Amino acid sequence: MLQLHHPLLDVHPEVATALAERQAVVALESTIISHGMPYPQNVATALQVEAEVRAHGAVPATVAIVDGRLRVGLSTADIERLGQQGAEVPKVSRRDIPFIVAAGHSGATTVAATMLIAALAGIRVFATGGIGGVHRGAAQSFDVSADLQELAQTPVAVVCAGAKSILDLRLTLEYLETHGVPVVGYRTDWLPAFFTADSEFPVDYRLDTAAGIARAMHTQWALGMRAGMVVANPVPAAHALPRERVDAAIATALYEADQQGIGGKAATPFLLARVNALTGGDSLLTNIALVLNNARLASAVALQFQLIAG
pLDDT tens, 7-18?
A: 999 999 999 999
Catalytic site includes residue 256: no
Average pLDDT estimate for 27-36: 94
> Does residue 1 carry a pLDDT above 70?
no
Looking at residue 276, its pLDDT comes to 80
Average pLDDT estimate for 275-282: 82
Q: Which of 50, 52, 80, 164 is catalytic?
A: 164
Catalytic site includes residue 164: yes
Q: What is the 3-state secondary structure (H, E, C) of the chain?
A: CEECCCCCEEECHHHHHHHHCCCCEEEECCHHHHHHCCCCHHHHHHHHHHHHHHHCCCEEEEEEEECCEEEECCCHHHHHHHHHHHHHCCEECHHHHHHHHHCCCCEEECHHHHHHHHHHHCCCEEECCCECCEECCHHHHCCECHHHHHHHHCCCEEEECEECCCECHHHHHHHHHHCCCCEEEECCCECCECCECCCCCECCEEECCHHHHHHHHHHHHHCCCCCCEEEECCCCHHHCCCHHHHHHHHHHHHHHHHHHCCCHHHHHHHHHHHHHHHCCCHHHHHHHHHHHHHHHHHHHHHHHHHHHHC
> Does residue 3 carry a pLDDT above 60?
no
Closest CA to 89 of 11, 175, 1, 29: 29
Average model confidence (pLDDT) for the chain? 94
pLDDT tens, 239-251?
A: 998 888 888 988 8
Q: Which of 14, 21, 29, 244 is catalytic?
A: 29
> Does residue 2 carry a pLDDT above 60?
no
Domains delineated in the chain: 2-243+281-309 (3.40.1790.10)
pLDDT tens, 122-153?
A: 999 999 999 999 988 887 888 899 999 999 99
